[in-house]
Amino acid sequence: MAVWALGINHTTAPLDLRGRFAFAIDQVAPTLHALRGALSRQPEAALISTCNRTEIYCACEHPQLQHTMDWLAQCGGVSADVLRAHSYTLTDGMAARHAFRVASGLDSMVLGEPQILGQLKDAVRAAEAAGSMGTTLSQLFQRSFAVAKEVRTSTEIGAHSISMAAAAVRLAGQLFENLNEVKILFVGAGEMIDLCATHFAAKNPKSMVIANRTLSRGEELARKFGAEVMCLADLPDRLHEFDAVVSCTASTLPLIGLGSVERALKKRRRRPMFMVDLAVPRDIEIEVKELEDVYLYTVDDLAGVVQTAQASRKAAVAQAEAIVDVGVQNFLHWVEQRSTVPLIQALNAQADEWRFAEMARARKLLLKGENIDTVLEAMSRGITQKMLHGAMAELRAGDSAARDRASSAVHHFFLRKER
């Protein structure tokens, strides 16, 4: 069984290209169905899509990397050459290593961050619901979760990490002298907005407002922080009220355009606005960044901030990589063993057939009143003869080469001293 992975992430592809390959969780099932339909032999498949990466994992008898590349490129509306220039392809042990490193936070923009593990588990559940998971990928991901847990508990990989949310607060603190006087708007109500709101709330801002397409979800998050809630439709008219805007939704099109921000700045009499766009694809049009009184940061812009604590964790990374190495070796050993499963099943079936035949014969003899010891002796002799018949036939073969091979096999399987 071959395993392969194809992906793009924050180190290989720019934000706008990653946006072309972003899939919401409700798009995963139809996307996986389309992928498997486009490839031969219906491979096992899983799809991971976050703000920093999109990755496809597949397993089948033969790898189909080129077809997977062509299909994904078409999906994103780019040529295969463009995708190839910004992607990575991995097979077997390297694919497993990558999955284990992703789950452990070793491949994240924020080294050791824990959110990716939850996102990976969500992706696996979505693939299971879509019916695209099989034994091999299930083993791959379950082992990746176990490796991630060991990395988390056995190393200091997550110590002193600066999250994207913390980085956003740090940048806001550089612009505003006192965050207590800042009015903040959060657009969206997902996990990342929840995390950002938690970090900003700790700074006691003047006010916090949650804008979300689904009002009930926005209200739920607003209650958690004592914030106000507003409809997403009111955003253009109220944008000028806010000093800081943090946005992260699953929208496929920008929610905040250049015109809206220009009008907001005019109403604010050019007072500066701090904006963070954590969405992929973008929630805020890129042209907004050119406005003089707007400080707009994307997920890629935050990369330098979140890397500042990396050096102190080099020892932890080495420990984590060693744990990953062991996990990869164990997975590859399991895959190699899987190749013998059909033979083992056939051997067990043959042994059961011999056993059932001799048991049926023994029952008949017992019903006829035969002595039980005589019956047991006959049954054991019958099973033994059936098991040894093939080996005996080969040892008596006329071909000397065949006899030599049989002799070696008999010594190996039947006559070894150690058991």
Residue numbers belonging to the annotated binding site: 50-53, 108, 113-115, 119, 188-193
One DSSP character per residue, 301-338 reads TTHHHHTTTSGGGHHHHHHHHHHHHHHHHHHHHHHHHH
The Cα 276–Cα 227 span in angstroms is 19
At residue 17, the 3 state secondary structure works out as: helix
Contact 76, 20 (CB under 8 A): yes
Contact 114, 195 (CB under 8 A): no
Calculate the CA dihedral of residues 43, 44, 50, 53 and round it to 10 degrees: -50
At residue 187, the 3 state secondary structure works out as: strand
Contact 121, 114 (CB under 8 A): no
For residue 284, the one-letter residue type is: I
Task: Output the known binding site for NADP(+).
Answer: 188-193
Q: Which of 51, 58, 196, 248 is catalytic?
A: 51
CA dist 379 → 273, 332, 392 (Å): 89, 42, 19
Task: Output the known binding site for substrate.
Answer: 50-53, 108, 113-115, 119
The Cα 99–Cα 117 span in angstroms is 10
**Annotated catalytic residue 58:** no
Catalytic positions, written as ranges: 51
